[in-house]
């Protein structure tokens, strides 16, 4: 269990770190790093000998009264337990799959099914939203030889036509349709014809003025396609059947999460607002939140730095109680981190990069007494 008192500092765009003076000299929104009891401005040249450092940010004057600069607790390098950064990721990859090599007997129908997932989809559909498109045998051109396989391109064209017809239908305007979440393209001709299915960007959620609301959350759309001969019924499990494969389904790209957006950092400002406010209750009337202030610039992406530490004067002797530590989160505009990171690395040591990578596939390797097999597949 983790108990940590957290303070967030959002470094404004164009911020200049002070090199002289103390915290009382900070202008509204200006962020600075200070050292020792005198709270002298810390630089890369003097921070190495600091007993401890503190972060501070000037508050906006007005709104009834002025509380002075927002200041973190004292942070000593030897008391730091975690020190890492997460770089912002502005590019969002949408999920992409290809479906090809349809092999369906002309006397049979073919069904293309999808199971879609996202944070909001999961609130309305248990275990994902399932939608299927079935093309009956009379659409596959049986002709004189109903027992031979239907032409691959004929199946592709029939499926796309059915999807387009579903999208155009106005029978139930409230019905959830595949094209609300997915786009479909045809590539190639004849035996090389295939359907490329891409996820669409998720709808941007509203940003209510209610300070206690949660208008932003991590979300991504991911899905799995399935092809089967015959109609899909509710009693069937939607799983690939290797004994009766009706098409080749190939993953091309996994969808990813956006990181460090201005919306995300704005939500963090609300989440941690009460830790540095005299009024601890987050009431819904604006008059109760006259101290709330935001230094986020819309459209900006922020790298985040996290320092988790124990209190400077904490008693480190053993106790059966769970001790509360502290955390400082710095949200710094991407591309403006060099000076601040240099100072912090000089004092804390090398920073751990927990940005990770946008994983597109997962490879599983299994070994028997005679062979080794590697299988690459998507994970949620």
Q: What is the DSSP code string of 27-39? A: PTT-EEEEETTTT
Quick one: pLDDT at residue 205? Answer: 61
* CA distance linking residue 303 with residue 293, whole number of Å: 20
What confidence score (pLDDT) does residue 341 get? 97
pLDDT of residue 287: 57
Tokens 């503190």 appear where? 54
Q: What is the pLDDT of residue 312?
A: 84
Residue 116 is predicted with a pLDDT of: 93
Helix segments in the chain, DSSP class H: 121-124, 152-168, 262-271, 338-348
CA distance 269 to 267: 5
- Which of 50-54, 167-171, 227-231, 289-293 has the least mean pLDDT? 167-171
Residue 360: pLDDT over 60? no
pLDDT digits (tens, 9 = 90+) for 89-143: 988 889 999 999 988 776 778 889 999 999 888 888 878 888 888 887 666 655 5
Nearest Cα to Cα of residue 267 among 204, 208, 308, 202: 208
Locate 94 and state its tokens: 């949408």
Does the model's pTM come out above 0.85? no
For 273-282, write each residue's pLDDT tens digit: 877 766 655 5
Task: Look at residue 248 and tell me whether its pLDDT is greater than 80.
Answer: yes
**Coil, helix or strand for 181?**
coil
Q: What is the phi/psi pair of residue 133, to 5°?
A: -125, 120
Residue 229 — very low, low, confident or very high, per pLDDT cuts 50/70/90?
confident
Of 360, 367, 330, the C-alpha closest to 345 is: 330
pLDDT band at 242 (very low <50, low <70, confident <90, very high): very low
User: CB of 18 within 8 A of CB of 32?
Assistant: yes
> What 3-state DSSP class applies to 132?
strand
* Nearest Cα to Cα of residue 8 among 306, 340, 366, 355: 306
């Amino acid at each position: 269990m983790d108990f940590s008192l957290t303070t967030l500092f959002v470094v404004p765009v164009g911020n200049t770190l002070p090199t002289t003076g103390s915290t009382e000299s900070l202008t509204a929104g200006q962020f600075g790093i200070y050292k020792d009891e005198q709270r002298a401005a810390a630089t890369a040249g003097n921070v190495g000998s600091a007993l401890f450092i503190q972060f501070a940010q000037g508050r906006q004057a007005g709104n009834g009264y002025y509380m002075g600069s927002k200041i973190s607790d004292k942070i000593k390098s030897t008391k730091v337990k975690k020190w890492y950064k997460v770089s912002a990721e502005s590019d969002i990859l949408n999920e992409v799959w290809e479906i090809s090599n349809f092999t369906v007997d002309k006397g049979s129908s073919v069904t293309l099914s999808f199971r879609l997932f996202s944070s909001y989809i999961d609130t309305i559909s248990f275990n994902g939203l399932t939608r299927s498109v079935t093309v009956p045998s009379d659409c596959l051109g049986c002709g004189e030889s109903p027992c031979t396989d239907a032409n691959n391109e004929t199946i592709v064209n029939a499926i796309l036509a059915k999807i387009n017809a579903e999208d155009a239908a106005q029978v139930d305007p409230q019905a959830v349709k595949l094209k609300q979440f997915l786009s479909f393209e045809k590539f190639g001709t004849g035996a090389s014809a295939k359907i490329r299915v891409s996820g669409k960007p998720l709808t941007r959620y509203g940003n209510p003025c209610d300070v206690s609301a949660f208008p932003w959350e991590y979300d991504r759309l991911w899905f799995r396609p399935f092809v089967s001969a015959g109609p899909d019924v509710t009693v069937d499990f939607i799983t690939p059947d290797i004994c009766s494969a009706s098409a080749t389904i190939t993953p091309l790209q996994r969808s990813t999460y956006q990181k460090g957006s201005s919306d995300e950092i704005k939500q963090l400002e609300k989440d941690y607002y009460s830790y540095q406010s005299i009024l601890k209750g987050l009431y819904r009337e604006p008059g109760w939140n006259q101290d709330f202030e935001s230094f986020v610039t819309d459209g900006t992406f922020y790298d985040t730095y996290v320092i988790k530490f124990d209190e400077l004067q904490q008693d480190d002797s053993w106790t059966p109680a769970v001790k509360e530590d502290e955390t400082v989160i710095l949200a710094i505009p991407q591309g403006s981190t060099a000076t601040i990171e240099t100072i912090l690395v000089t004092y804390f040591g090398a920073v751990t990069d927990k940005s990770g990578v946008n994983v597109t596939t997962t490879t599983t390797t299994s070994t028997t007494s005679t062979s080794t097999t590697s299988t690459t597949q998507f994970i949620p």
